[in-house]
Structures are given as C-alpha cells and as structure tokens.
Amino acid sequence: MMLFLVLTFFAKLPYQIWKFSHKFLGLAFFFAGLHSFFIKSDISRSQILRIYMFVLAGAGIIAFIYRVILTKFLVKYFEIHCRKYKNSCGKCSRDSNEAKK
C-alpha cells in the first residue's frame, strides 16, 4: 500500500496506469484487514473495537467489490455528444448505447 502511495505522490504516471494501479489498493486493504484481525493487538482484546474494525473492513471490501467488479454489470454508461452551433452555447444529446471505457 505504501508503494502505491509513493507512486501516486511522486511518480508522473499517465492517468490510465494510475487508475489501473489503484485497483490493487482494494487487495492491499483486504490483506491489511486480515492482518489486523490475526495479530495480537488492541483489536483482539476489545470486543467493541473488533466489531468496529470488522464493520469498517467489511464496508471497504463491499465498496471495492461493487466499484471494481459489479460496476461492469450494474452501472449503465452513456456517450455524450456535443455540437457547438454558431451563436449558441452548444447542444448536447445523450446516446443510450453503452460507452467505451
């Protein structure tokens, strides 16, 4: 996770590579959550903290699964076509075909 943060702040990556690299942050978050539950720490001693961390990690994993995997099936994308006419601000129309990503 730290490697991705360093790349984000200091490397000048093209947007598509930056976006692709951020998909792996969900995997890093998952392993960090597993790590926090299996080591001896405050989480293992406090029931309230364990429940809080479980809910937080669960919400993060669910958000990751929705955003990276389920978005392809549940979210409809549109193409936006804009044409500028002389002496007007432009007219936009929405095409209901799925847009290319």
**Helix residue spans in 1-101 (DSSP H):** 2-10, 15-22, 25-38, 42-45, 47-64, 71-74
pLDDT of residue 55: 92
pLDDT along the chain (101 residues), means of 10: 73 80 80 83 83 89 86 80 59 51 45
Q: Is residue 19 part of a domain?
A: yes
pLDDT of residue 13: 76
Q: Is residue 82 part of a domain?
A: no
pLDDT of residue 37: 81
Q: Is residue 21 part of a domain?
A: yes
pLDDT of residue 101: 45
Q: Is residue 87 part of a domain?
A: no
Q: Is residue 98 part of a domain?
A: no
8 Å CB contact between 81 and 64: no
**Alpha carbon distance, N-terminus to C-terminus of the chain:** 26
Which residue segment(s) compose the domain that 29 sits in? 2-75
pLDDT of residue 100: 47
pLDDT of residue 84: 62
pLDDT of residue 91: 54
pTM: 0.58
Beta bridge partners of 83: 91
Q: How far is CA 12 from CA 6, 21, 23, 28, 32, in A?
A: 11, 13, 18, 22, 26
8 Å CB contact between 90 and 84: yes
